[in-house]
Amino acid sequence: MGTKLEKFGQLLEKLGLTVVAVLAGAIAFFLSVVSMLHTTAVDKIDAGQGLYTIVYDIKEKLESVYYLNDNLFLNLLVLGCCLMLMFYLIQWKRPVKLRRLALFIFLWTFVLGTIWVVGSQSAPSEDSGTVTSASWAFAENNYSVLADNRYFHNYSFQLGYVFFNECIIRLFQTFRHLDNLMPLEVLNAAFLGVINLFLLLINDKLFKDSRINLVTTVLLASSAAPIISCSFVYGIYPGMMFAVIALYCELRYLIDNKLIFSWLSAFSLMLAVMTKSNYLIWMIAILLIAFCKMWKRRKFLQDCSYMILILALCMTIQPLVIRHYEKVSGTEIGDAIPYVSWIDMGLNESDLAPGWYNYWITVSNFEQCDFNAEAAAERSKENIKNRLKYFAEHPQYTNDFFYLKIVSQWNDTAYQSLWNNVVRFQYREKSPFAAWVCGDGAPAVKHYMDYIAQLVFFAFCAGCWFLYRRKTFILTPIPIIFLGGFFYQLISEGKSQYIMPYFIVMTAFSAFGIVCLCDAFCRRISPESKIGRLMGIGKKAVPAAQTDAPAETAEPAADAAASGAPEDHAEAANKTETPETPAEDSAQTSQNESIKENKT
């Protein structure tokens, strides 16, 4: 019986890895090609600044989405230069200790994020303003907004983030009264620092390669869009922080077999879903990983309990928050806009871009149904049925609709970070640097973001290819999350700022692809060539992934430990399967130093 379960587990993991690697790689390849040819822009276009020509269709709107053609040859040249710089960095002979990289990436992110927040002086407005203002009022025991405004009746899922902010504001106000909500933006910088730190720890746990750690740090530190988004207070970063911590704890639970990390994972995931319901996508990914690993681990009671705990916490936390506010305010919140209406909106046209926000499909539909969620859901289901029928009957339109929806979100390489700093209210005037970034310097900043995104998309695609050759399921968490986010944004409300969490995790995983590309490059360069002498690389370098080795020889240490092997067995597997593990340094001494560092 045990042998059959193990064989089933091996088959399930092999099938899962193949589907994930091929599908994620194909989508990343599409994004890479599109990013080389075009760029999506989301800007505030004032009256008289619109363009309606055969080339451009730039609408005069507060949130105008339009498309620009790129210089393909320049983009290819910059991509090649970026890769060569990364390859040169990878040849650094002295591995940098993990704790130094972790400290650096947290401090770098937090300091830069804080500098940007203070310089930008961006204040919450629109939805973010409504949510944060309610948090501030609730912290002062003023719950009148629940009775006077329908916002939190229509969007009751926002109350989780309201509760999170309320707790923080109450904590701050025990020391001093707040004059504004700038501390929440500074906390965003801290949350992003923790996100980058734990992504570095995740890569270290999965790949055990000091070079991948170094490239991960450099890529995350070089990404400007996440830093600029620190001034946008809407639950994206605190929710992502808890979700990334949950993923790291799950890996520690599966690889190190430490039960306490399963509890920490479930609790962190609950906080992520409470703060931002979009992180239900991460919940599904984490459950899929645990389910696929369960069969080889053969710890069914333990793993099933872990998955049940996640479901119980994540599916009950938001209803509990709503009941809490109903109790303290004495106001019945009632039905919210059903989620199926957001799917209806995501499959319909909008005056912004295909599948973007449409008031009439969500709010107006809910009002016409007298705020009855069941009636509104039935109308939305009927609309979706008709829409799918129209898609089936008009394949060319379907192709164009989803192409533009995908490109409008994923290829806006600023992910509305600059736009959010332009359209929001101001506490006071921006600093000269922030004003330049959001004004005259915006084109240059956007070009820089384009080059970073092109590198990330290409390297992520390469990482998926090498992942497929590795045949190791435990390395798939980030591609699984990417796929979940891609298909969720494909059918739900379109908005490029919601892509930010997925772009950040793609940035981390792309480090694996870059190191593997470097080693493939090394094997084809003669040590006596000019490039070989310049960069210190050549055929003597140890490959990052010996892709020609048989897949059935063994799995790396991480997977061995995840399947239930003790830590000493995992280390033995890691030592005996050098071709299957990520590359160590070409020099044997550097390899030994790296192994000692990872053990430490």
Q: Where are the domains of the chain?
A: 2-545+582-599
pLDDT above 90: residue 250 = yes
Contact 490, 405 (CB under 8 A): yes
Tokens of 588: 């044997």
Q: Which residues pair with 494 in a beta bridge?
A: 356
Cβ-based neighbours of 3, under 8 Å, separated by 6 or more: none
Q: What is the pLDDT of residues 533-556, one digit of tens each?
A: 666 655 444 444 433 333 333 344
Name the percent of the chain lying above pLDDT 70.
87
With residues binned 3-state (H G I as helix, E B as strand, rest as coil), the percentages for the chain, rounded to 5, are: 70, 5, 25
- H/E stretch holding 514 reads helix 500-522
pLDDT at 545: 42
Q: What is the pLDDT of residues 300-350, one digit of tens each?
A: 999 999 999 999 999 999 999 999 999 999 999 988 999 999 999 999 999
Among 480, 576, 462, 502, which residue's Cα sits nearest to residue 25?
462
Task: Tell me which residue has tokens 């064989």.
Answer: 7
Mean pLDDT of the chain: 87
What's the pLDDT band for 2 if we cut at 50, 70, 90?
low
**pTM here?**
0.88
Distance CA(511)–CA(494), nearest Å, equals: 28
pLDDT at 57: 76
Contact 480, 506 (CB under 8 A): no
What's the pLDDT band for 582 if we cut at 50, 70, 90?
very low
Q: What is the pLDDT of residues 11-68, one digit of tens each?
A: 999 999 999 999 999 999 999 999 999 999 999 888 777 777 767 777 888 888 999 9
